[in-house]
Chain A
Amino acid sequence: MVVVTSSTLAIEASGLRKAFGDTQAVAGVDLAVRAGSVYGILGPNGAGKTTTVRMLATLLRPDAGEARVLGHDIVEEADEVRSVVSLTGQLASVDEDLTGQENLILIGRLLGFRRKEAKARAAELLRAFDLVEAAGRLVKNYSGGMRRRLDIAASIVVAPRLMFLDEPTTGLDPRSRNQVWDIVRTLVADGTTVLLCTQYLDEADQLAEGIAVIDHGKVIAEGTPAQLKASVGSGALHVRLLDPEQRPLAEQALSQALDVGVHREPDPAALSVACARPERAAEALAELSRVGVGVAGFSLGQPSLDEVFLALTGHPAEETDASEELGPGEEAA
């Protein structure tokens, strides 16, 4: 039966398009997201990530294309979609003028809990997200990390089957970022599917099982993090020398041993060279020792997703576009 395929896919989208005036924010996006996984949408600012998520979360009507979320059509059955998903938007979607506790009670009441149940649920979530002490403070006085945790808590007042997380760690310090990552892992372990938009490559690498790389409103590559890296090419051997003076000598030895160009790292004692197989790397290192170059350390790694992005798009992922993909009139004040 056809139902079998749709039940294993949490999101199926084909040809989604959306334009704002003359700007084609999303120019034909196809997605297939397996239920129970984290799926990453990776791209720089302005690539169309937020617009895609807003369409899937039924906040925006697509101009063309169609999508089913947990089996429900996002246009025809928008109400059904809304009752099984939750959205944690790019701007923290909580009310700054209320306390953390009041925010959670508000969402609980809107979902249909009685006052007492909503209160109990809020207390439970505040405990789980380490916000008990801040429960009675106004959200406008929260730190970025606290606000983001509250935002995620508000999204699981009733644990959704699918959660949209739009840049959950943008602007957070490393500690808060790690907390958010732990929370996402727990969510998924408990059976929630997560669609994660991010412009941080290591975030997608850390969390996502599958990744779609999106640029100028189109998916330009798709696969597991490992596949994406492999598609760009081999791994690389990174070598750090005891003496920076020996770098020219090391460069010559490595390029002879591996028969490819050697890249000088910004660090004057470091070099890297493309190298797919561990045994070739071992030979190259032996060659260094033979010519008398002292090695302080080495590593054999896959290319980073940064390199993947550069190879796929021709421009670095860090490129920021002033006009982030908000709808017209939604620019922050």
Chain B
Amino acid sequence: MSTAPARARTAREDQALHAALSVRERPSRASGLSACLTFGWRGMLKIKHVPEQLVDVTITPVLFVLMFTYIFGGAIAGSTGEYLEYLLPGIMVMSVLFTTVYSGVALNTDVTKGVVDRFRSLPIPRSAPLVGAVLGDSVRYVLGAVVVIAVGLAIGFRPDGGVVGVVAAVALVVVFAFGLAWVFTTLGLLLRTPNAVMNAGFMGIFPLTFLSNVFVDPETLPGWLETVVEINPISHLVTASRGLMGGSATGGDIAFVLASAAVLAAVFAPLTVRLYRSR
């Protein structure tokens, strides 16, 4: 290599570096909670700096709201207004569940870009980056729901459950998303590129949301398909959200949703942590 004229670091910079290096005392360790919250904060910053990632996953549900309401609404439910009451809670669910795929994509990006090495060499609990990221992502989930509801309100969605019902529905969906996200973080550690995670994630979540009662009443479907739709946990989630927003929720559906979120988290969260550790 040739010895190009190098700009020597200035004396002032060297002094600054010496001063910077004089800090050798380590503050007392961050608690696990504080580390998780810091990673949550990192998630917020990403929403701020890369908002297009959020737009990418919410644009499809927003298009669906408009398209289905105005094109198929009259044919399916008799009027666009009535169909909107039926459709919107389901699309809100869809929007949030699409956003969970992103949690896996983000984790995979961290691994492929090398920043995970830095986190893993810090004296913090090894699960903190994972738990913190999913916590931070819950803000993303709420935003995904809010966007769809805002579009709905703008075109005439007037839920009978009122503000309380809508907030409760969003909360329920976010809790479910919190469980489902671990499936995608597992995927994020198994696959090689962020794109592969995105593709595999949507290949799973897309048919699952369609094979539910988001768009139509399952009673109109052929018998075998109706059975598939009824065992799909997303159908229960949609029914519960619809109930909460419409002011007629049943405890059974809500309990089923909470239980499936717990099962997903119980299986896939430890799996994610294990894969993350053994990398």
**Interface residues of A, Cβ cutoff 8 Å to B:** 54, 57-59, 79, 82-83, 85-87, 89-99, 102, 106-107, 109-114, 117, 121, 124-125, 127-130, 138, 154, 156, 158-159, 173-175, 177-179, 182-183, 186-187, 190, 192, 200, 202, 327, 329-333
- Asked whether, in the complex, the Cβ of A179 is within 8 Å of the Cβ of B117, the reply is no
What separation, in Å, do the CA atoms of A86 and B122 have in the docked complex? 8
Given the known inter-chain contacts A59-B117, A59-B120, A112-B29, please indicate yes or no for A106 contacting B42, CB distance below 8 A: yes
Assess whether A159 is in contact with B21, with CB atoms less than 8 Å apart.
yes
Query: Which of these binds chain A: B6-14, B58-66, B163-171, B243-251?
Result: B6-14
B23 — which chain A residues lie within 8 A by C-beta? 121, 124, 158-159
With known contacts A97-B49, A128-B17, A83–B26 Cβ distance under 8 A: yes
Quick one: which of B116-169 are within 8 Å of A by CB? 117-124
User: Are A110 and B16 closer than 8 Å at their CB atoms?
Assistant: no
Which residues of chain B in 172-195 are interfacial with respect to chain A, using CB atoms and an 8 Å cutoff?
192-195
CA distance A200 to B35 in the complex (A): 37
Cβ–Cβ contact A112 & B26, under 8 A? yes
Per-residue CB contact flags for chain B residues 14-25 toward chain A (1 = under 8 Å, else 0) read 101111111111
**A-binding segment of B106-114, B203-211, B261-269:** B106-114
Other-chain contact of A124, B9, B19, B41, B112 (Cβ < 8 Å):
B19
Identify 19 new A-B residue pairs, CB closer than 8 A, beyond the known A89-B118, A107-B118, A200-B1.
A83-B123, A93-B118, A98-B46, A99-B49, A109-B41, A110-B122, A111-B27, A111-B122, A112-B29, A117-B27, A158-B24, A159-B20, A159-B21, A159-B23, A173-B4, A174-B4, A177-B1, A186-B18, A332-B112
CB contact under 8 A between A186 and B17, given known A92-B114, A106-B42? yes
Q: Does B260 contact A (CB under 8 A)?
A: no
Q: Are B29 and A98 in contact (CB under 8 A)?
A: no
Neighbouring B residues of A129 by C-beta, 8 Å: 13, 17
B71 within 8 Å of A (CB atoms): no
- Alpha-carbon distance between A202 and B2 when the two chains are bound, in angstroms: 11
Verify B112–A102 contact, CB threshold 8 A. Answer: no
**Contact assessment for A125 and B38 in the assembled complex, using a CB-CB cutoff below 8 Å:** no
CB distance from B32 to the nearest CB of A (A): 11
Q: Is B50 interfacial (CB 8 A cutoff)?
A: yes
Contact B38 A93 (CB under 8 A): no
A-B pairs, top 5 by smallest CB distance, nearest first, are A91-B114, A178-B6, A93-B118, A112-B27, A128-B16
Q: Which residues of B contact A96 (CB under 8 A)?
A: 113, 115
User: Residue among B38, B119, B192 with the most chain A CB within 10 A?
Assistant: B38
B199-243, CB under 8 A of A: which get 1 and which 0?
Answer: 000000000000000000000000000000000000000000000
What would 19 A/B residue contacts be, using CB atoms closer than 8 Å? A85-B121, A89-B114, A91-B113, A97-B50, A98-B46, A110-B124, A111-B123, A121-B23, A129-B13, A138-B49, A154-B118, A159-B24, A177-B1, A179-B7, A179-B9, A183-B17, A190-B22, A202-B1, A333-B193
**In the complex, B30 has a CB within 8 A of chain A:** yes
- For A92, the chain B residues whose CB sits under 8 A away are 114
Query: Which residue of A is nearest B120, CB measured?
Result: A59
Q: How far is the CA of A117 from the CA of B1 in the complex (A)?
A: 41
- Whether A331 touches B19, Cβ cut-off 8 Å, given contacts A95-B115, A110-B124, is no
User: When chains A and B are docked, how far (Å) is the Cα of A12 from the Cα of B49?
Assistant: 44
Chain B residue contacts of A187, Cβ below 8 A = 21
Contact: B118 with A174, CB < 8 Å? no
A59→B30 contact, CB < 8 A: no
A-B contact count (CB 8 A): 158
Taking Cβ atoms with an 8 Å cutoff, the residues of B that contact A are: 1-4, 6-9, 13-14, 16-30, 34-35, 38, 41-42, 45-46, 49-50, 110-115, 117-124, 192-195, 279
Task: Knowing A87-B118, A158-B26, say if A128 contacts B49 (CB, 8 Å).
Answer: no
Contacts of A95 in B (CB 8 A): 42, 110, 113, 115
Chain A residue at minimum C-beta to C-beta distance from B132: A110
Q: Which residues on B sit within 8 Å (CB–CB) of A332?
A: 112
Q: Assess whether B38 is in contact with A156, with CB atoms less than 8 Å apart.
A: no
What's the minimum C-beta distance from B276 to chain A, rounded to whole angstroms? 11
Chain A residues with Cβ below 8 Å from B110 are 95
Q: Once the chains bind, are A174 and B114 in contact (CB under 8 Å)?
A: no
Check A110–B30 contact: CB distance below 8 A: yes
Q: How many Å lie between the Cα of A57 and that of B116 in the bound state?
A: 13
Choose among B13, B24, B119, B122 the residue that contacts A130 (Cβ–Cβ < 8 A).
B13
A235 to chain B, nearest CB (A): 21
Report the separation of the CA atoms of residues A175 and B121 in the bound assembly, to the nearest whole angstrom: 29
Q: Is A156 a contact of B192 with CB atoms below 8 Å? A: no
Bound CA span A190–B120, Å: 26
Which residues of chain B come closer than 8 Å to A182, judged between CB atoms?
Answer: 8-9, 14
Contact A86 B121 (CB under 8 A): yes
Chain B residue at minimal CB-CB distance from A60? B279
Cα distance, A87 to B28, chains bound together (Å):
20
Bound: A86/B30 CA distance, A: 16
Q: Which residues of B contact A117 (CB under 8 A)?
A: 27
In the complex, how many angstroms separate the beta carbon of B108 from the nearest chain A beta carbon?
Answer: 9
Contact pick for B21, options A82, A138, A186, A327, CB 8 Å? A186
> In the bound complex, do residue B49 and residue A98 qualify as a contact, i.e. CB atoms below 8 Å apart?
yes
* Contact between A111 and B121, CB atoms less than 8 A apart: no
Q: How far is the CB of B188 from chain A (nearest CB, A)?
A: 11
B23 to chain A, nearest CB (A): 6
CA distance A58 to B120 in the complex (A): 8
